[in-house]
Amino acid sequence: MKNHEKSIDPASQKMLDKAYAEGIQTVWDRLEAQQPHCGFGELGLCCRHCNMGPCRIDPFGNGPKLGVCGANADTIASRQLVRMIAAGAAAHSDHGRDIVLAFRAAAEHGEGDYKFKDEKKLLALASEFNIPTEGRTIQEIALDVSDIALDEYGMRGQKLQFTKRAPKVRQDLWTSLGVDPRGIDREVVECMHRTTMGVDTDYVNLTLQGIRTSLSDGWGGSMWATELSDVLFGTPEVVKGWSNLGVLSDKEVNIVVHGHEPTLSDIIVFAARDPELLKKAKEKGAEGINICGMCCTGNEILMRHGVPIAGNFLQQELAIITGAVEAMIVDVQCIMPSLPTVANCFHTKVISTSPKAVFPGATHVPFDEKNAMETAKQIISIAIDNYPNRNQGRVNIPSDRMGYMAGFSVETILGALGGTLDPLLDAIKSGSIRGIAGIVGCNNPKVRQDHNHIALAKELIKNNVLVVETGCAAIASAKAGLLLPEAADMAGEGLAAVCRALGVPPVLHMGSCVDNSRVLVVAAAIANALGVDISDLPLAAAAPEWMSEKAVAIGTYAVSSGIYTVLNSPPPVLGSSNLTNLLTAGAEGVVGAVFAVEADPVKQAGLIIEHIEKKRTALGL
């Protein structure tokens, strides 16, 4: 495959050419080396859950139809799906737990490095949870909020607080299906229990547990991550900044912060402003310190501070290949184990910071949340010391960069609308906006980088569908200029007029992947305002380049919340026609929504538009 076929992004294409010229292996080379992928794995028909196996089911020929224990294709594929959901939910929710713990530490030691930037939001949460606030300090109130949060991770056996934000009919549906999450950790543990050898065998019963676990993510762990990150680091407001590898500087110390948790990235942004560090950078010959983001932790600081974003998932190796990165600081999730090897070809230091994610070949500097600022400065110092090692002769920073407007939290959207959802509802009712689509998720080297994200978003806005985005999808749109108000020119007449009146782009960046919880909140608020269920709304979602188990958890809570969800490729379930039918057809009668699979982004848009029009008709719009 030619390099320009691997990505639509000119910056990525240039760095792929450089990688090729210098003999540096990237994710695309490793994908090629893996061909052909294992057919049993692709279909979800292999099981390694016990030592009588590993077993595989022959889907076509006369080979075995049962594992050694007697498990059939339905059992094996559904157990596998449930484990993927559990892993994805665990990743989001354990990230959420770290935010809760940082939040609690801020409540306990008021004068630490983390403060409550958005006390108003903290008080709103307290009121939502019926926590008394009169005559109490903000710390006391925060402690009570953190008690509730930590309690929800354990085994409460009660409804999770945030599930109460869903429309009452949806809550009742979950209760009647027996899928109310009972505790965030508990559901993940129960998934592992029920999928081990000799426990749950029924694919429907297993899938219901997958649904319950995904809900504990979307309306639990992820929502806690979003809400308390907003309290600690500030609720995003409209910001402008720059995206793509062209944000790297040829004269400054470049530090790329990659991973997920804002506890690290947010403090790095502030630590880099320290005059002593700036002085030190100048002594080393640099003109300054340039902090850039990558992937979702990049989205966190983009949303709150307009920090430049160097790229999305498939650009992590390419950023190092510019030869201009002094340090890539990583925490958890979506960090390729290949980074230290790529960094070895340059002067770049990969600095791992989480006890949960250690990378052989990287420098490990444990991030101490109790001493956050000092640790952040220490890490930045390592990058500065590394600046003189940069080989300017090997530096090649693509000039490609694009501006963005972001920061569309629920609060920002409401603010832009003048404090109420009514103008948006009116635009939907009048048909100038046909509906809303959430495009989320990753890059995957099996798909030309960003191609599906951009083609799908363009097709939707052209047809007057407002697009909201998170994660690597949003970064793709930033790089393609879709997050600029001028992108309204690419939208249909109705949507363009609304965007121009409000001064916003037709594609709204709502944050990192845990911030898909913001999309749920907007969906619930619209449904509540109209007095209907989420599944009645002209609303859809898509993950057109997904790769992570987290995307499986997100897709499942979207569908379980009543949102029709389109994927470009299926998770490994096709080996079980029963499970495939349940997910793509049967679920409609259970949760009021299904998954659809379509590889072509224009056809994906067609499916979404068809769905939106169907829902409009049913609502009498």
Among 101, 143, 197, 382, binds ligand SF4 (CB under 6 A): 197
DSSP state of 130: T
Token pair recorded at residue 427: 């635009």
Token pair recorded at residue 102: 């940082």
Beta bridge partners of 449: 7
The minimum distance between CB 123 and ligand SF4, in angstroms, equals 50
Contacts of ligand BF8 in 280-339 (CB under 6 A): 295-296, 313, 334
What is the SS3 assignment for 276? helix
For ligand SF4, which stretch binds (CB under 6 A), given 46-54, 220-228, 235-243, 453-461? 46-54
Is 206 a residue that touches ligand SF4 (CB under 6 A)? no
Neighbouring residues of 111: CB distance < 8 A, sequence distance ≥ 6: none
Choice between 195 and 565, CB closer to ligand SF4: 195
Torsion of CA 77, 83, 84, 85, to 10 degrees: 110
Token pair recorded at residue 130: 């019926």
Among 31, 68, 169, 345, binds ligand SF4 (CB under 6 A): 68
What is the size of the binding site for ligand SF4 (CB under 6 A)?
Answer: 14
191 labelled binding-site residue: no
Whether the bond between 398 and the residue before it is cis, its omega within 30 degrees of 0, is no
Token pair recorded at residue 302: 């983009």
Whether the bond between 36 and the residue before it is cis, its omega within 30 degrees of 0, is yes
Residue 112 has φ and ψ, to the nearest 5°, of -70, -170
The minimum distance between CB 301 and ligand BF8, in angstroms, equals 13
295 labelled binding-site residue: no
What is the size of the binding site for ligand BF8 (CB under 6 A)?
Answer: 12
The minimum distance between CB 516 and ligand BF8, in angstroms, equals 9
Q: CA-to-CA distance for 341 and 576, rounded, in angstroms?
A: 39
What is the SS3 assignment for 344? coil
The minimum distance between CB 257 and ligand BF8, in angstroms, equals 12
The minimum distance between CB 331 and ligand BF8, in angstroms, equals 12
Choice between 67 and 262, CB closer to ligand SF4: 67
Q: Which residue is it, tokens 């449930």?
A: 82
55 labelled binding-site residue: yes
Nearest to 116 by CA among 95, 96, 102, 126: 102
Cβ pair 490, 524 in contact under 8 A = no
Token pair recorded at residue 314: 């498939």
270 CB-contact burial (10 Å; exposed 0-12 / middle 13-18 / buried 19+): middle
What is the SS3 assignment for 131? coil
Neighbouring residues of 283: CB distance < 8 A, sequence distance ≥ 6: none
Choice between 188 and 532, CB closer to ligand BF8: 188
For ligand SF4, which stretch binds (CB under 6 A), given 20-28, 43-51, 96-104, 185-193? 43-51
Is 441 a residue that touches ligand BF8 (CB under 6 A)? yes
621 CB-contact burial (10 Å; exposed 0-12 / middle 13-18 / buried 19+): middle
What is the SS3 assignment for 406? strand
Report, in angstroms and rounded to the nearest whole number, the Rg of the chain calculated over CA atoms: 24
Among 6, 14, 18, 49, binds ligand SF4 (CB under 6 A): 49
Choice between 348 and 444, CB closer to ligand BF8: 444
CB atoms within 10 A of CB 139: 13
Is 557 a residue that touches ligand BF8 (CB under 6 A)? no
Cβ pair 416, 504 in contact under 8 A = yes
Is 90 a residue that touches ligand SF4 (CB under 6 A)? no
| Binding partner selected for residue 71 from ligand SF4, ligand BF8, none, CB under the kind-specific 5 to 8 Å limit | ligand SF4
Is 388 a residue that touches ligand SF4 (CB under 6 A)? no
Is 258 a residue that touches ligand BF8 (CB under 6 A)? no
Is 54 a residue that touches ligand SF4 (CB under 6 A)? yes
Among 44, 67, 218, 538, binds ligand SF4 (CB under 6 A): 67
Is 43 a residue that touches ligand SF4 (CB under 6 A)? no
Is 184 a residue that touches ligand BF8 (CB under 6 A)? no
Among 53, 423, 494, 586, binds ligand SF4 (CB under 6 A): 53
Among 16, 47, 406, 582, binds ligand SF4 (CB under 6 A): 47
HEC secondary structure over 479-529: HCCCCCHHHHHHCCHHHHHHHHHHCCCCEEECCCHHHHHHHHHHHHHHHHH
Is 481 a residue that touches ligand SF4 (CB under 6 A)? no
Q: CA-to-CA distance for 363 and 342, rounded, in angstroms?
A: 14
Choice between 39 and 431, CB closer to ligand SF4: 39
For ligand SF4, which stretch binds (CB under 6 A), given 68-76, 413-421, 450-458, 592-600? 68-76
Choice between 340 and 441, CB closer to ligand BF8: 441
Is 550 a residue that touches ligand BF8 (CB under 6 A)? yes
Q: CA-to-CA distance for 442 and 397, rounded, in angstroms?
A: 24
CB atoms within 10 A of CB 602: 12
Cβ pair 310, 319 in contact under 8 A = yes
| Binding partner selected for residue 530 from ligand BF8, ligand SF4, none, CB under the kind-specific 5 to 8 Å limit | none
Choice between 71 and 508, CB closer to ligand SF4: 71
The minimum distance between CB 68 and ligand SF4, in angstroms, equals 4
Contacting positions for ligand SF4 (CB under 6 A) = 47-50, 52-55, 67-69, 71, 76, 197
- Give the residue ranges of the annotated binding site for [Ni-4Fe-4S] cluster: 260, 296, 334, 442, 472, 513
Annotated binding residues for [4Fe-4S] cluster: 38, 46-47, 50, 55, 69
- Point out which residues bind ligand BF8 (CB under 6 A): 295-296, 313, 334, 441-442, 471-472, 512-513, 548, 550
Binding-site positions? 38, 46-47, 50, 55, 69, 260, 296, 334, 442, 472, 513
